[in-house]
Each structure stands twice: as structure tokens, then as C-alpha cells.
Amino acid sequence: MGELIGQTMQKQTSLYLELGGPGGLGSLNIERTCSQRKSVQFAYRIGLSSFPIDRNNGIVVVIPVGIHGIAGQAPHFMDVSVGQVISFTTKGKFHFLGTSAIGYRHQKTEKPVFFRLSYTPLISYLLTYQYQHWAGLTIGYTFLK
């Protein structure tokens, strides 16, 4: 993630581990920058997390997906996102949660490693509306070209 203002976007791929966040206790994610509008760079992410429930309910697979808007000047960025958390079990049950996030992202121009601290509430909306506070801490690696 370079300095965004006045630059044309360079598509980049990042791999990151997020503790907490929409994946639950943690998730492994891939992020890919996809477009740029004025000073905001957009990226999409898809993650993977999993945990067991019990013998009757099997294992849950959690897939957080989202669109991120990233703005600022290196090394300080604001990272805002909206997305969905898709969960399904090995016993055939599924559920969706909405998620949004706002956080601080620290990423130097020439360094591949970045950090992010985010407020990541989870929103149940399918059956009843429930809003849950949650947070995430990210350490990631950007594959620089």
C-alpha cells in the first residue's frame, strides 16, 4: 500500500492473519486491491476460519468476505469495510451475518508487513436484529511488485 494521493493504483495481493474480527477468534485471509477512486483504494478480502461445535452439530466453517476502502498517507491509513460472514456446518446448516469495520492500518511504502487494529461489529439480520461489538488485530504481508 503506497501513498495513494496522486498515484495510480498498483494491484497488490496480501495475505494476513486476523485475530478476532469477523472470522470469530481468528481467520486467515487473502486481500486483493481492485480499484481506486480519487484518494481511496478499494480491496476485497476473503477469509477462512473453522471451529468444532460437538458431535451432533459437527464443524463450522466461517468465511468472512468484504470490501475495504483504504485512505491515507503511508504509513498511516484508515481502513473501512463492509461485508458478510458466511457460516456453514458439516451437518448442513448455514447462516449469514453482516459485518462492518473501521480501523487503523499501519503500512510502510517499501515494507511488506502491515498491521491493522479494527472495530469489527457483527450484525445478525436474517431472523432477528442483533448487534455485537467485536474487534480484530491483523498482521499481514503484501506481495510487493
Binds another protein (CB under 8 A): choice among 1, 43, 85, 101: 85
- Please state, as a whole number, how many other Cβ atoms lie within 10 Å of the Cβ of residue 59: 13
**101: contact with another protein by CB under 8 A:** no
**49: contact with another protein by CB under 8 A:** yes
Radius of gyration of the chain (CA): 16
**93: contact with another protein by CB under 8 A:** yes
> Which CB atom, from 23 or from 103, has the smaller least distance to another protein?
23
**119: contact with another protein by CB under 8 A:** no
> Residue 132: what are its φ and ψ, rounded to 5°?
-125, 130
Burial 65-74 (b: 16+ CB within 10 A, else e): ebebebebee
- What is the separation of C-alpha 34 from the centre of its chain, rounded to a whole number of angstroms? 14
- Binding to another protein in span 4-23, by CB under 8 A: 22-23
**89: contact with another protein by CB under 8 A:** yes
**1: contact with another protein by CB under 8 A:** no
> Which CB atom, from 22 or from 103, has the smaller least distance to another protein?
22
Burial 96-135 (b: 16+ CB within 10 A, else e): ebbbbbebebbbeeeeeebebebebbbeeeeeeeeeeeee
**26: contact with another protein by CB under 8 A:** no
> Which CB atom, from 95 or from 111, has the smaller least distance to another protein?
95
